[in-house]
């Protein structure tokens, strides 16, 4: 009890931890999530969360560090079904960190060796998986505040000094679909039909995620996508994937290119309430007049969500986007050559 009271009284002394020696700061602060520290049963059990709270209070004054609110962290852990005992494993912390947008995690442990109290903190980069450890210790009978102060300084220095290894600068994201549309601008484009059969193992398919993504990208780039005659196109596509020599029906020759494919998705593992799903897509672009293959591609993608059906659709959508970016310019060039 005396140790707990000492922690509470020490809060005022930890409002700001002195900054590390001046160094060149990367652009923008790095987002850090501090999890409850693990502690053995007995008098130390209630110290773990308080150590994390006091570290957060101290690190909040560090330039270049943006802390995830502790209340928001606990809310996300509850939604994911993690940390029911107050402690999370490193892989669980990484999952929660990604949901929160934290690029750096701090987890730790409090324990005793003989009459000495030891606190160990591990600072983890969620994207690089790099881990750096810091520790501080003092006598069990002594006030704990100086120990936490020392550890806070070390953790803050580690995040500042090892920023490039924990959370390296991100390259500016580019939109591959926008780049594709830019390359096709001003060119004569073929008329297209799209049919991608889709199945989710053990569950009914609600909407055609891969087909919708293909149509969306084609229209965005200025292609005329012809719809209608779905039954004829669907029947022929199924025959074609069983026998590639199946002739294209005349009813489908009102376009220049047929994009046909098969896609399936299946649920994978589960971490807390998060579900992983995989989606695989195989697609071909054919000359509607001759049946000649103009482009072919295959993709497998993985997605994570709270709902298996959404994770599965997201995986197929990602596979379709990547595939479309690859085969659309190839099929357009092949059609132009024909």
Closest residue by Cα to residue 190 from 331, 39, 30, 292: 331
Strands 30-34 and 224-225: unpaired
The yes-or-no verdict on residue 14 having pLDDT over 80 is no
Buried b (16+ CB within 10 A) or exposed e, 105-131: bbbbbbeeeeeebebbbbbbbbeeebe
Q: Is residue 171 part of a domain?
A: no
As given in the structure block, the two tokens for residue 285 are 């672009």
Q: Is residue 40 part of a domain?
A: yes
Q: Is residue 261 part of a domain?
A: yes
d(CA 136, CA 154): 9
d(CA 31, CA 72): 13
Q: Is residue 43 part of a domain?
A: yes
189 and 329 part of one domain: yes
Q: Is residue 263 part of a domain?
A: yes
d(CA 53, CA 41): 19
Per residue in 216-226, pLDDT tens?
A: 999 999 999 98
- Is the pTM higher than 0.75? The answer reads no
Q: Averaging pLDDT over each range in 8-22, 110-124, 164-178, 236-250, which range is the top one?
A: 110-124
SS3 212: helix
Band of the pLDDT at 184, cuts 50, 70, 90? very high
Q: Averaging pLDDT over each range in 139-143, 252-256, 279-283, which range is the top one?
A: 279-283
The CATH number of residue 199's host domain is: 3.40.50
Last residue of a domain, one of 148, 166, 184: 166
d(CA 319, CA 300): 6
Report pLDDT for 6: 44
243 and 294 part of one domain: yes
182 and 331 part of one domain: yes
Strands 116-125 and 257-271: unpaired
Percentage of the chain modeled with pLDDT above 90? 35
The total domain count for the chain is 2
114 and 8 part of one domain: yes
42 and 140 part of one domain: yes
191 and 133 part of one domain: no
Q: Is residue 139 part of a domain?
A: yes
Report pLDDT for 194: 92
Q: Is residue 269 part of a domain?
A: yes
Phi, psi of 247 (to 5 degrees): -75, 145
As given in the structure block, the two tokens for residue 200 are 């989710």
41: containing domain:
2-166
302 and 201 part of one domain: yes
Report pLDDT for 238: 80
142 and 226 part of one domain: no
124 and 191 part of one domain: no
Phi, psi of 115 (to 5 degrees): -100, 15
14 and 145 part of one domain: yes
182 and 157 part of one domain: no
Report pLDDT for 207: 73
The yes-or-no verdict on residue 84 having pLDDT over 80 is no
26 and 125 part of one domain: yes
Per residue in 101-141, pLDDT tens?
A: 889 999 899 988 888 889 999 999 988 889 999 999 988 88
């Amino acid at each position: 009890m005396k140790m707990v009271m000492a922690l509470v009284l020490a809060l005022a002394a930890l409002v700001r931890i002195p900054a590390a020696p001046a160094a060149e700061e990367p652009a923008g602060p790095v987002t850090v999530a501090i999890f409850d520290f693990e502690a053995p049963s007995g008098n130390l059990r209630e110290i773990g969360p308080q150590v994390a709270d006091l570290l957060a209070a101290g690190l909040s004054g560090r330039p270049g560090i943006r802390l995830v609110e502790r209340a928001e962290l606990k809310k996300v852990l509850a939604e994911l079904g993690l940390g029911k005992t107050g402690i999370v494993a490193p892989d669980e912390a990484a999952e929660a960190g990604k949901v929160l947008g934290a690029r750096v995690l701090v987890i730790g442990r409090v324990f005793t060796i003989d009459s000495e109290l030891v606190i160990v903190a591990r600072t983890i980069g969620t994207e690089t998986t790099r881990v750096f450890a810091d520790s501080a210790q003092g006598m069990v009978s002594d006030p704990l505040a100086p120990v936490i102060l020392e550890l806070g300084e070390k953790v803050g220095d580690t995040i500042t000094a090892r920023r490039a290894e924990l959370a390296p600068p991100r390259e500016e994201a580019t939109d591959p679909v926008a780049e594709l549309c830019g390359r096709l601008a001003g060119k004569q484009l073929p008329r297209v039909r799209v049919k991608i059969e889709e199945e989710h193992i053990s569950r009914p398919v609600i909407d055609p995620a891969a087909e919708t993504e293909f149509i969306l990208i084609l229209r965005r780039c200025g292609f005329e996508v012809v719809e209608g005659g779905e039954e004829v196109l669907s029947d022929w596509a199924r025959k074609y994937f069983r026998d590639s020599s199946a002739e294209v029906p005349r009813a489908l020759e009102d376009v220049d290119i047929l994009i046909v494919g098969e896609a399936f998705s299946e649920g994978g593992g589960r971490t807390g309430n998060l579900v992983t799903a995989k989606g695989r897509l195989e697609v071909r672009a054919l000359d509607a007049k001759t049946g000649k293959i103009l482009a072919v591609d295959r993709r497998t993608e993985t997605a994570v969500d709270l709902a298996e059906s959404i994770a599965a659709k997201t995986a197929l959508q990602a596979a379709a986007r990547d595939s479309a970016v690859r085969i659309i310019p190839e099929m357009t060039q092949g059609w132009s050559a024909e």
